[in-house]
Every structure is written in structure tokens, then in C-alpha cells.
Amino acid sequence: MKSRGVTLFGLPTLLTVFIVITILSFATLSLLSANSDRNALKRTTSLVASTYALQSMTEEKIASLAKELTETSQNRENIDVILSQFLLKHPEITYNNTNRTLVFALEYSVLRMDVTLEVGSIADQPILTRTSYRLSTKNGQDYSLDGDPVWGG
């Protein structure tokens, strides 16, 4: 009887199929990874754009409030009288009489900016000084640290 030896019949085909499957697996994983990176980049870009838009809105609001306070104070009245008239026009602003601070919030997209302004006076002219910013999402995640945005969540 003749003994059969080990034959390599089909081994190159199996090896080729294994290599093709391996390459397709890595290509699929790379594509999925690139797709998730693209989606994360879109979300981050949207958040940054919304943050800058909200920051601009906040600065415009502070400038308009300061201008309005200055125009109201042209009558040279007491600053407390000026503030009471001012607050009647702006019900969205809360005033803390003990600290002399104005607090208001603006919302844009999914973000919310809480702003605290200190009211001071120089020669009976009201001056607004930013005390704090708090940038957060509507679900409460804070993106600010001492007034500076934190991009790590």
C-alpha cells in the first residue's frame, strides 16, 4: 500500500481568502472610525460656532445695557433711582441690592449663558463690570471655569 503524503491542495486558495477577509475587515473598521471622527468633528464645530454666537449676543446685550444705563443717568439722578427705572424696562434681569449685581441669562441653540454684572458708579455714572460668565448646556453640563470655556466637558 502506498502511503499518502500531505498535500497542499487548496492551501493557497484558503490563504488568499483569509488575506482578503482580513483586508476587508481592517478597511471596514477604518471606515467606521473615520465616520465617527467626522460626526464628532461636526458636533464639536457646531458647539464652538454656537458658543461664539452666544458670546457675541452676550457682549451685544452688555453693551446695549451699558449704553441704556448711561443714557438714563444723563438726568444726574441717584443711581438707585436710575436702576429702579432701568429694571422696570428689563424684567428678564434680576438685581441683587446687597451686592449691587445684575444677573441675566441668554440661550442659543442648546447653550445657556448666565452673566453676572456688578453695578458701580464713577461721578454718578453707572458702570457695568462683568463678574462672572457661566456657559452650560440645557441639560446642565458646565462648559465654563472661572469665566473661561472648558472644552473637555
Q: Which of residues 114 and 145 earns the better pLDDT score?
A: 114
Predicted local confidence at residue 93, as pLDDT: 93
Indicate the SS3 state at residue 152: coil
The pTM for the full model equals 0.71
3-state helix/strand/coil string of 53-74 = HHHHHHHHHHHHHHHHHHHHHH
pLDDT band at 86 (very low <50, low <70, confident <90, very high): confident
Percent pLDDT > 70 in the chain is 83
Please state, in angstroms and rounded to a whole number, the distance separating the CA atoms of residues 42 and 40: 5
Percent pLDDT > 90 in the chain is 35
* Full strand arrangement of the beta sheet holding 111-122: 94-96, 101-108, 111-122, 125-137
Paired with 130 in beta bridges are: 117
